[in-house]
Amino acid sequence: MNIAAPLGFDACIAELSRKDTFKAFSKVPTGMLSFWAESIGWPDWLLEGTSHAGSKQLPRRIRMVDDLKATANLIERIGEERLVEMIFEWGRFPGDTAVLSAPDLGSALSFFTANVNRTNPPIDLVLHATADPVRLSMAIDPDIAPFSPIYESTLIAVVLAVVRSFIELRKEGRDILGKVTVGIVRSSPVVAGKFPCRIVTSSQEPFIDIPMDALTRTNPGFNPDFWEGILRQGQTEGTSTNADMPELVRAVEAAVTASLTEHGRILQFAEVARSLDRSQRTLARNLAGSGFSYRSIVDRVRLTMAQDLLLHRRLAVHEVAKRLGYGDDTAFVRSFRRHFGVSPARWRRNELLAQSQGITAA
């Protein structure tokens, strides 16, 4: 069953390209798209309308508009429900080697959340681990509203696969699975029939509630050295030095840094484009071709400056948020936690403790 007419998808992609070029040309992972493609034999129609038309394989990351178009082709030809059903039929899912190498379910969900947020601009996951049950909430960019149902269903299916992998399917595990609650907004009804959990309708955003004691479910095959290597690789992929960045990216970063330092505001993309004597569309394409987006550059600058303001200048969290151009403290804390796994205040305490013990701060 299709969730929207194809014209809805195409109109969404066209509008995104028109009004937010740097988002439209941001790179997103192709893992899920490749899994679906392999499941149906890489049909010729899959990549029609994308810059990869005719290909039988994909690079690890492609432009968001190409990913959306290929997804629209899949929904039109295969249907959302069947696509979601396939996920539950797979013996694995994209990135499972890393996620399932975690020492316990809590660590696996934290890693999954951070990785999705870092690599998928239209998705924002938040793991609320301070209450029982622990809630993983999901927000999907309203600019891609026609695609929200498949994004929501896919995220829920993959998270449930992670949970099931750690809890396992023995009797005790089944009891815990039955205590998992999934809040759906637009998800395919297939989700309800594939997992022994409680399904409710959410009026705001999709979520998954998991009993806190389930997060301590350990991985019997845990290898500390292998897990440490995965974490180091993730940190390396999430950062880059100035020497690694093309001259254009350094110029954009310098402009953002200067604006935040002098005025406490983020430059509009149009302002950056004008300062570099480029059109917005040209600059977006230039950045995307270098593997960057304006959002990723802004995030990098903000987080680098945040570390300095918190650790070396000892500013209060609300003052740091103000200087970095955030609308409120909550937005800053949420962004910081998404990238570093802890709140700004906790991060500073950890770094100061590390310094007192003779360990170089990050």
Listed in order, strand segments (DSSP E) in 166-286 are 181-184, 198-201, 207-210
308 Cβ neighbours under 8 A, 6+ residues apart: none
Tokens for 56?
């039988």
Per-residue pLDDT of the chain (362 residues; tens, 9 = 90+): 444 444 489 999 998 888 777 778 888 899 999 999 999 999 999 999 998 998 888 988 888 999 999 999 999 999 999 999 999 888 888 888 888 888 888 888 988 988 888 888 889 898 888 889 999 999 999 999 999 999 999 999 999 989 988 886 455 656 777 889 999 998 888 887 788 889 999 988 999 999 998 888 788 788 888 888 887 676 555 444 444 457 888 889 889 998 998 889 999 988 998 888 888 878 887 777 676 778 888 888 998 889 889 988 889 999 999 999 998 888 898 888 877 777 888 888 877 776 665 544 43
Structural domain spans, the chain? 6-216, 239-356
Q: Which CATH superfamily is domain 239-356 in?
A: Homeodomain-like (1.10.10.60)
- This prediction has a pTM of 0.69
Helix/strand/coil for 137: strand
**Considering Cα of 187, then 188, then 192, then 195, what sign does the dihedral take?**
negative
